[in-house]
């Protein structure tokens, strides 16, 4: 009978690898012994200890629906003593159709869903506790002794506390982040957090963005955001970039096709024109901060090409916390709004570019704002003469921006 030794009680990676091999060899759930390695015996090998049949696997490669694996990762965060065997049966049922030994086909899934609901509730409670705690970072505590929700949400804590060192007192041990590495505490001393199951909730859920004081922590959190529908279709979140204390901040509408693929703002054709205009205006891009109102690329497919779609009210509203955090942390002396979408989102009213362009505006936070066109507007001009004329007007707006921050 095969014995599987896991490195620690949250070792999802070893469990997953062993499960894949055992099911390929058609090993029944009741034939497997699951065991967690004794921390005092670090020399013990992990994985499948007992030899498997020498013949080739009896099954071909298989896949498991993502929803089932998500359910299993939630189950793994509980303290249920049979969670490894239960999770194995869930996979085996998907691959082979073998039912629960009791004859109740839904027994395992019913129990797993119940455990997962408990984990989701514990995760929400833990995150709310961390996000609303006003104690010093070295006085955090968590009193729930069931399961391993706190350990699986260590990244949430680190980002919510802006990468500052922290220590969390828990029943039976202490988990801490020293600024570079995580020590998950007992009974997971020296365990690799990369082997833990992922949290039951998306990283951004429950995060108090207004309490984050480090821009990199906001950016890292934003990369997990799937609030709006277009986030599920875009390649990645495209957060802002530039000097964290820049006196000059530029805000456009949304990333384009190349920005979405590369993961940086203003690197496509409009971005290259923007860089050229900055240089001509005597402004170094390295000394400014550039971002977008919306952090994902909204598009539709036409003959294999991804065609830009204008961001709507829902997308702008969903991304508003990220832009607000960028403004709050960078605190630019001048914010330049590139195009009507960015201007309307920041000014919270309809904006006609021709009417408000090139005139300094006092923003809601007391800083200065300036409206101009988006560089993509220059690319859409019908003639070379029009492109040259509008480009020069754009450069003049950038020169005005330079004078305003120097004033």
Q: What is the DSSP string of 299-359?
A: EEEETTEEEE----HHHHHHHHHHHHHHHHHH--SEEEEESHHHHHHHHTS---HHHHBT-
Q: Which of 161, 195, 229 is the last residue of a domain?
A: 195
Backbone angles phi, psi at 329, to 5 degrees: -85, -35
- Determine how many CB atoms are found less than 10 A away from the CB of residue 207: 24
In a domain, 337, yes or no: yes
pLDDT on residue 212: 95
CA separation for the pair 232, 225 (Å, rounded)? 9
In the chain, pLDDT over 70 holds for what percent of residues? 96
Judge if 358 and 276 occupy the same domain: yes
pLDDT at 284 over 80: yes
Q: Which two tokens stand for residue 369?
A: 């704002």
β-pair partners for 289:
242, 249
List residues bridging with 47 in a β-sheet: 5
Distance CA(44)–CA(64), nearest Å, equals 30
**Greater model confidence, 49 or 174:** 174
User: Is there a domain that residue 301 lies in?
Assistant: yes
341 lies in a domain?
A: yes
Confidence of residue 68 (pLDDT cuts 50, 70, 90): very high
Residue 209 lies in a domain: no
Contact 360, 372 (CB under 8 A): no
Mean pLDDT of 272-296: 97
Same domain? 111 vs 127: no
Specify if 203 maps to a domain: no
Secondary structure, 3-state, 138-166: HHEECCCCCCCHHHHCHHHHHHHCCCCCE
The predicted model gives 205-230 an average pLDDT of 92
Assess whether pLDDT exceeds 90 at residue 104: no
Q: 100 pLDDT exceeds 60?
A: no
Q: Quote the CA–CA distance of 92 and 311 in Å, as a whole number.
A: 44
In a domain, residue 206? The reply is: no
What average pLDDT does the structure give for the chain?
92
Number of domains in the chain: 3
pLDDT for residue 41 = 76
Same domain, 187 and 239: no
Query: What is residue 119's three-state secondary structure?
Result: helix
DSSP output for 60-113: ------HHHHHHHHHHHTS--TTHHHHHHHHHHHHHH-PPPTTS-TTHHHHHHH
pTM equals 0.90
d(CA 198, CA 193) in angstroms, rounded, equals 10
Domain boundary among 116, 134, 155: 116
**Beta bridge pairs of residue 174:** 169
Res. 338: pLDDT tops 60: yes
**Does one domain contain both 346 and 238?**
yes
Q: What angle do CA 146, 149, 154 make, to 5 degrees?
A: 140
Q: By the 8 A CB rule, do 372 and 338 touch?
A: yes
d(CA 241, CA 219): 9
- 3 state SS of 259: helix
255 and 352 housed in the same domain: yes
Average pLDDT of the segment spanning 363-387: 96
Residue-number span of the structural domain to which 154 is assigned: 123-195
**Domain end (from 58, 93, 116):** 116
Identify the top-confidence range among 52-61, 104-113, 249-258: 249-258
Same domain, 236 and 335: yes
Residues 89 and 178 in one domain: no
In a domain, 100, yes or no: yes
Identify whether 208 is part of a domain. no
pLDDT given at position 96 = 82
Sole residue written with tokens 């799937």: 226
Measured CA to CA, the distance from residue 26 to residue 404 in angstroms comes to: 72
Considering the domain architecture, whether residues 25 and 134 belong to the same structural domain is answered as no
DSSP string, 41-54: -TTSPPEE-SPPPS
* CATH number, position 277: 3.40.470.10
Same domain for 257 and 373? Answer: yes
Whether the per-residue pLDDT at 58 is higher than 90: the answer is: no
For 36-56, the pLDDT digits (tens) are 998 777 677 899 887 777 766
Q: Which residues does 407 contact at the CB level (< 8 Å), separation at least 6?
A: none
Is the domain of 183 the same as that of 244?
A: no
150 plus 221 within the same structural domain: no
* Of 47-51, 108-112, 153-157, the least confident: 47-51
Same domain, 276 and 170: no
Report how far residue 185's alpha carbon sits from residue 118's, in angstroms, rounded to the nearest whole number.
23
pLDDT of residue 1: 81
């Amino acid at each position: 009978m095969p014995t599987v030794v896991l490195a620690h009680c949250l070792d999802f990676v070893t469990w997953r690898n062993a499960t894949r091999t055992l099911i390929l060899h058609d090993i029944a759930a009741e034939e497997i012994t699951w065991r967690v390695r004794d921390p005092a015996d670090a020399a013990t090998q992990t994985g499948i200890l007992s030899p498997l049949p020498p013949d080739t696997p009896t099954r071909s490669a298989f896949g498991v629906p993502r929803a089932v694996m998500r359910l299993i990762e939630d189950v793994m965060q509980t303290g249920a003593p049979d969670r490894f065997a239960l999770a194995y049966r869930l996979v085996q049922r998907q691959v082979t159709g073998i039912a629960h030994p009791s004859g109740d086909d839904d027994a395992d899934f019913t129990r797993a869903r119940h455990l997962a609901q408990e984990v989701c509730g514990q995760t929400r409670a833990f995150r709310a506790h961390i996000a609303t705690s006003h104690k010093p970072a070295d006085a955090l505590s968590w009193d729930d002794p069931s399961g391993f929700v706190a350990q699986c949400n260590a990244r949430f804590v680190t980002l919510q506390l802006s990468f500052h060192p922290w220590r969390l007192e828990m029943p039976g041990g202490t988990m801490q982040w020293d600024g570079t590495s995580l020590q998950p505490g007992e009974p997971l001393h020296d365990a690799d957090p990369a082997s833990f199951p992922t949290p039951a909730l998306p990283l951004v859920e429950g995060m108090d963005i207004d309490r984050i004081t480090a821009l990199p922590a906001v950016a890292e959190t934003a990369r997990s955001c799937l609030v709006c529908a277009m986030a599920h279709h875009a390649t990645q979140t495209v957060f802002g970039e530039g000097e964290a204390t820049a006196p000059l901040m530029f805000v456009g509408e949304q990333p384009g096709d190349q920005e979405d693929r590369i993961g940086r703002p203003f690197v496509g054709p409009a971005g290259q024109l923007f860089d050229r205009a900055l240089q001509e205006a005597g402004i170094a891009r390295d000394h400014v901060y550039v971002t977008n109102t919306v952090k994902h690329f909204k598009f539709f497919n036409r003959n294999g090409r991804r065609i830009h779609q204008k961001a709507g009210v829902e997308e702008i509203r969903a991304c508003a916390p990220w832009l607000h955090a960028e403004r709050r942390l960078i605190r630019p002396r001048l914010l330049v709004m590139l195009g009507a979408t960015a201007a309307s989102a920041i000014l919270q009213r309809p904006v006609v570019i021709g009417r408000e362009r090139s005139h300094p505006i006092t923003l809601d936070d007391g800083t200065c704002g300036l409206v101009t066109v988006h560089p993509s507007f220059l690319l859409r001009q019908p003639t070379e003469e029009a492109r040259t004329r509008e480009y020069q007007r754009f450069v003049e707006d950038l020169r005005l921006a330079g004078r305003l921050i120097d004033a």
